[in-house]
Structure 1
Amino acid sequence: ARQMAEVSYVHPGMITEARGKLGKKLAEITSGSLNRTFFTNGGTEAVEHAMKLARLYTGRHKIITLYQSYHGATYGALSAGGDPRGLPHDSQGVPNIIHVENPYFYRCPWNSRTPEECTENALAHLERIVKYEGPGSIAAIMMEGESGSSGCIKYPPGYWKGVKAIADRYGILTICDEVMSGFGRTGKWFGIDHHGVVPDMMCMAKGITAGYIPLGGLIVREEIVKHFDEKPLPIGLTYSAHAVACAAANAVLAIYEDEDLVNNAARMGRYVDKRVAELAQKHPSIGDFRNTGLLGCIELVKDRKTKEPMAPWNATPDQMGVMNKVAAKINELGMFTFVRWNWIFVAPPLCIDEAGIDEGLEIISKAISIADEACM
């Protein structure tokens, strides 16, 4: 309200105090020379602009992403992601997107015996693809800071660092999509902070305003911005850096700090890990739990030994019988969480306490009992 009383909208090429304050704050909480932000209306637009900027900066055209990933629902972003919801539009998809296998240790494509071996195999696979596609044609490798709606597939130790090393070796940019994992969700400001890597570009949205007003952003290294000092940069949006949205973001970021919500997510994440480990002793259908801070996913299986999923990846409606009952039970008991295929997501508000976690996991436990009956 205060911002609207002062100024609610100006041309996106103009400066507002709220915009300047937010840009400065984002430069403070991100790593390295990530310090120039182009503000968007949401996460998908940030991804679209990141791909465009990478291609313009490098003069190359291909983008490498992971199969099991999600980057948004516009044509470019949906093409970049590996989410099967994009399959119906494949014939009209954006060209020059190359997908590679995920380092999914629980279901490792290379049957790795340890997470470290999975890292080694996944990186070797990635570098082979880079060589096959031609390093000189690849503009960027884009990955989520931490995996989200594709199953919270945790990167095994050293994977992000290895990706960055491969990218640097061939002059390829790295784009980190923090739309879902950013702003404290994983117990650090950004998911990539767990991996000791500074990307060339970072996409953000969602948590930047906690959803109160639409806002996203693309923050990039200073060196990339300077490349366009004497060259045209064809990006822009009517509502870019909207003053009211920037004011909302400033207020939200202040709350994150004043109420210590990023550290609370880390503390409560450890408590979630402990409680779900206890549930796994009770429920034979829990095959795996992957979690970073408060971004987690319980994977249900029919048989822990064979890892047969309770519902297959990209399940059809007739294959969702058990999981639909699980989801319905959670709703019946008064809670909403995302249930997709054989995954139950655990992503509560950052302000949650142990009592809230206990209440939510008790509901999930009762629902999982339905899946237990389908175990072999």
Structure 2
Amino acid sequence: MSFEPGLTDGPTSDEVVAADLAHVFHSWSAQGSLAPIAIRGGEGSRVWDHDGNRYLDFSSQLVNVTIGYQHPRVVEAVREQAERLVTIGPAAANETRAEAARLIASHAPEGFEKVFFTNGGADANENAIRMARLYTGRDKIISRYRSYHGNTGAAIVATGDWRRIPNEYARGHVHTFGPYLYRSEFWADSPEQETERALHHLRRVVQAEGPESVAAILLESIPGTAGVLVPPPGYLRGVREIADEYGIVLILDEVMAGFARAGRWFAFEDHDVTPDLITFAKGVNSGYVPVGGVIISDPIAHHFDDRVFPGGLTYSGHPLAAASIVASIRAFEDEGIVEHARMIGDEHIGPALRALAERHDVIGEVRGVGVFWALELVADRTTRAPLPAADVARIKSGLVAAGLLPFVADNRIHVVPPAVVTAAEVAEGVGIIDDVLSRV
């Protein structure tokens, strides 16, 4: 990793980590085995610690710092809003909040005029589920096993991975398998077969559960934490058709995939589908201030014209968050950040990762789009046996030691840098991965 002098005044990294571990209770962790990096600052696609060590961030923290660190327009917008009005409750009308909602809706499909703001992605999905149940008068929510929708009551039970199991307190949730050709649950040997059989499976689950009991199908447009599982052609369109056939609300979770991550404003734009509810967070303002929300199709929004929507949050549409959204979206538009994300994926990240796979047998598959990619690591390409956790941990440690912050999940390295990453930074980061895979 590189070292930069002049960044070392104040406490050392060890001192900050010690203070953190003494008082901060960390998420998804056994508290006694933590070794966090003490990040002091950042700019663009790089961060640095209190000792002056610099890192190239290929994780975007939790796949959310899409616009990069310390974007001046966003920082300035938050500062200006704080000087003008630091907070106001959701019952009041607020100019900045209204403009944030207008800008979000302007990039949604036609027929989406209203935005319900939340504090993050989990409660966005929570409220989308609530809207679907109230709109349909039904109860059940169908989601996928390979999914993550957040850590609140219904959202964590809609989640399909291991985090659901110790948290199953919400009612009315059913899970299915979605398409994942590399590890097909359907014995498929082509994308077309995988689509056809996954849709047949979903249809049969709907029928077996009783279509009249199903309020919504909730899917990540591209499952992110589960492995950047870009759906094969026709799958999301087929889900839409099943939902329409049975009067089911389609909720597409764009919390991770939306706002430039997949090289589009919304990932579903590549799949000829329009949902009924769109949930968002992360990339809409790169996490500069906590925020999320639901973009509501007009029929569902108008359903509550004369009915009370029984949901709300004290900080819904907080002015500081709204200001960060306005500045982020305007920067996306003016600086071509969404288009840059698509280009950098098509012309640099994708080709570089595929070339990497040709040099390393430990890479079983490369998949992704935009600045949203995954390397699936295997012990054997023929059997596709996942690389053991101990080996993955050694690779992760090697990457960090070499100055690259990776997003590692199960047997995968997710290559998810900020959307403003440059071609030179892509080459640098992939070069580090190449070197570490050669040594570890």
TM-score by length of 2: 0.81
The offset of 1:370, in angstroms, is 4.8
2:385 to 308, 313, 320: 308
Match of 1:360 in 2: 429
CA distance in 2, matches of 1:129, 1:113: 22
The offset of 1:335, in angstroms, is 1.0
Residues 75-120 of structure 1 show CA distances to partners (whole Å, capped at 9, x for unaligned) of 2111001021222223xx2111110002001111111110011000
1:194 to 263, 267, 270: 270
Match of 1:279 in 2: 356
Report the residue type matching 2:415 in the other structure: V
Residues 134-169 of structure 1 show CA distances to partners (whole Å, capped at 9, x for unaligned) of 000000000012111111112111000000000000
Question: Which SS does the other structure have where 2:404 is aligned?
Answer: coil
In the TM superposition, what are the counterparts of 1:18-57 in structure 2 within 5 Å?
Answer: 18-57=96-135
Contact 1:40 1:216 in 2 (8 A): yes
Match of 2:62 in 1: none
Name whichever of 123-132 and 73-82 sits farther off.
73-82
The offset of 1:369, in angstroms, is 2.6
Report the residue type matching 1:194 in the other structure: D
The offset of 1:255, in angstroms, is 1.0
Match of 2:335 in 1: 259
1:11 to 62, 82, 89: 89
CA distance in 1, matches of 2:367, 2:113: 31
Question: Which SS does the other structure have where 2:226 is aligned?
Answer: coil
The offset of 1:367, in angstroms, is 2.3
Contact 1:326 1:370 in 2 (8 A): no
Report the residue type matching 2:110 in the other structure: G
Name whichever of 35-44 and 118-127 sits farther off.
35-44
Aligned residues: percent identity?
A: 40
Contact 1:60 1:136 in 2 (8 A): yes
Give the superposed CA RMSD: 1.0
Contact 1:174 1:199 in 2 (8 A): yes
Of structures 1 and 2, the one with the larger relative CO (CA 8 A, separation 6+) is 2
The offset of 1:201, in angstroms, is 0.2
Is 2:164 the counterpart of 1:95? no
1:215 to 291, 298, 306: 291
1:245 to 302, 305, 321: 321
Match of 1:317 in 2: none
CA distance in 2, matches of 1:179, 1:323: 26
CA distance in 2, matches of 1:370, 1:101: 36
Match of 1:329 in 2: 398
TM-score by length of 1: 0.94
The offset of 1:180, in angstroms, is 0.4
CA distance in 2, matches of 1:197, 1:138: 20
Match of 2:413 in 1: 344
CA distance in 2, matches of 1:348, 1:308: 27
Report the residue type matching 1:21 in the other structure: E
CA distance in 2, matches of 1:60, 1:209: 33
2:373 to 279, 293, 296: 296
For structure 1, the residue ranges without an aligned partner over 5 or more in a row are 312-319, 372-376
Question: Which SS does the other structure have where 2:263 is aligned?
Answer: coil
Report the residue type matching 1:327 in the other structure: K
CA distance in 1, matches of 2:380, 2:287: 39
For structure 2, the residue ranges without an aligned partner over 5 or more in a row are 1-78
CA distance in 2, matches of 1:209, 1:89: 29
CA distance in 1, matches of 2:272, 2:360: 35
CA distance in 1, matches of 2:259, 2:375: 22
Residues 261-291 of structure 1 show CA distances to partners (whole Å, capped at 9, x for unaligned) of 1011001101211111111111011100110
The offset of 1:308, in angstroms, is 1.0
The offset of 1:45, in angstroms, is 0.8
CA distance in 1, matches of 2:293, 2:333: 20
Question: Which SS does the other structure have where 2:405 is aligned?
Answer: coil
Report the residue type matching 1:189 in the other structure: W
CA distance in 1, matches of 2:194, 2:250: 21
In the TM superposition, what are the counterparts of 1:48-67 in structure 2 within 5 Å?
Answer: 48-67=126-145
CA distance in 2, matches of 1:246, 1:73: 23
The offset of 1:366, in angstroms, is 1.9
1:161 to 237, 257, 261: 237
Report the residue type matching 2:135 in the other structure: Y
CA distance in 2, matches of 1:294, 1:284: 23
Match of 2:184 in 1: 108
Question: Which SS does the other structure have where 1:217 is aligned?
Answer: strand
The offset of 1:349, in angstroms, is 0.8
CA distance in 1, matches of 2:438, 2:253: 35
CA distance in 2, matches of 1:168, 1:32: 18
The offset of 1:5, in angstroms, is 2.3
Match of 2:251 in 1: 175
Contact 1:325 1:370 in 2 (8 A): no
CA distance in 2, matches of 1:321, 1:144: 29
